[in-house]
Amino acid sequence: MPDGRCPSHDELADYLAKALAEDVAARIRAHLDACAECRGTLEALGHGRRLPSMSAADAPVFESLGEYELVEKLGAGGMGTVYKAWHTELERMVALKVLSEDQMQDQRAVARFRREMKAVGRFDHPNIVRAHDAREIDGTYFLVMEYVDGMDLAELVARVGPLPVADACHLVRQAALGLQCAAEHGMVHRDIKPSNLILAADGQLKILDLGLARIHTVGPVAEAMTAVGQVMGTPDYMAPEQVSDSHAVDIRADVYSLGCTLYMLLAGHPPFVGSQYSTALEKMIAHSRDPVPPIRRIRPEVPKQLATVLERTLAKSPDQRPTRPGQLAAASGAAAHAARRSARRCRGGHRDRRRGDHAPDSGVFGPTDRTVRASLGRAAGHSRGGGTRRAHPGGGRFRRKSRRQRQSANRRHRQNQRGKEQRKGGWE
């Protein structure tokens, strides 16, 4: 946990029942990885049940599927189970998602799965996890995707806390570029959230489960259902119009969910948290009715321009949001650039009184998170030029030297050259 304390029995019981918000569950999951006592308590609470989402992966149900040898279990969800697998023919690691048995028995779900995989197979974008194969073997339907060695953004925030402004904006920019590609192919993700955005070790962010979200539903909770039918998405990041009719939403619902994700990266939690938003229904109602708490109330150093962009992205009405993810990508990229420039004006991590920003070394990252910090550094690095220029100390702009300054510099250079020749004995 962030304050070092162990979670209470009630919190562990809620975690076991999967009744906690995603950010809280991620923090408890990170704590369980390091605390053997809490793992034992959780096992006792579960009466011997295996812990969900622990780092020690469960043994796979199958040893192999065709040319794919299953290595270990990576995770499980409503759609099925994801395994790390070895492609014996191509000799490379892949991620293999096997549909759950109840989905396999539903012919409509299988038909939609096949239809969606044909659409996802057309994507070739650096910010979308690529699909390599999708088929059925002996009644088992599975999808083969590229294996990404990294961590999702929910786990990242659970480890290091709220991210610096420039890093958060740059990561959201990459996600928005991937969504723009999906929108151009007529696709809507419908379940954008930090755990569906994975940051690779080389700093590349990729969107997970594009297409599968169309048939992914919230668990069988009565309060999460509407008269229309199934509710698709995650309550913490769900657009207001997605609550009433998940099948009629467009790409602006993904823009809203990505705005909630940016809010979480900056604040450390989704927009609506607290005892008054303890259930899925209360969270969905809040997205439709309650104003989002201003981000600058939580992070005063967030630039006003970025706060305005975030406020527009989280508008209740789709007509008031950016119409395309590309617009959010452009705004996030500009905000990341401005935040980096402002941070370079700071010295030693101190606050710049004129701008109110903090330097990147302001203590957000701990000494044990060097790998995470390196990944974020690569993610937030400059994409052009290969380096940075030192700004002028008097205001951050590059200024041309005066004629007298140039003459003095040339004179000092000639004097230094003569001194070197004298020391070498070459002066005549």
What does R_g of the chain's alpha carbons equal in angstroms? 25
Which of 150, 145, 61, 57 has the alpha carbon at shortest distance from 95?
Answer: 145
Catalytic residues: 191
Number of H-type helices and E-type strands within the chain: 15, 9
Q: Nearest Cα to 18, choosing from 38, 48, 42?
A: 42
CA 375/CA 200 separation, integer angstroms: 7
d(CA 340, CA 355): 12
- Cα dist. 70→111, 118, 140, 339, 345 in Å? 25, 24, 14, 44, 50
**Lookup: tokens for 149:** 């060695």
Token pair in block for residue 66 = 């065709």
Reference 33, options 5, 48, 53; nearest CA is: 53
Those residues whose C-beta lies under 8 Å from the C-beta of residue 339, and which sit 6 or more positions away, are 164, 165, 166, 169, 303, 306, 357
CA 145 to chain centroid: 18
| Max CA distance (Å), the chain | 99
Q: And the tokens for 272? A: 């609506």
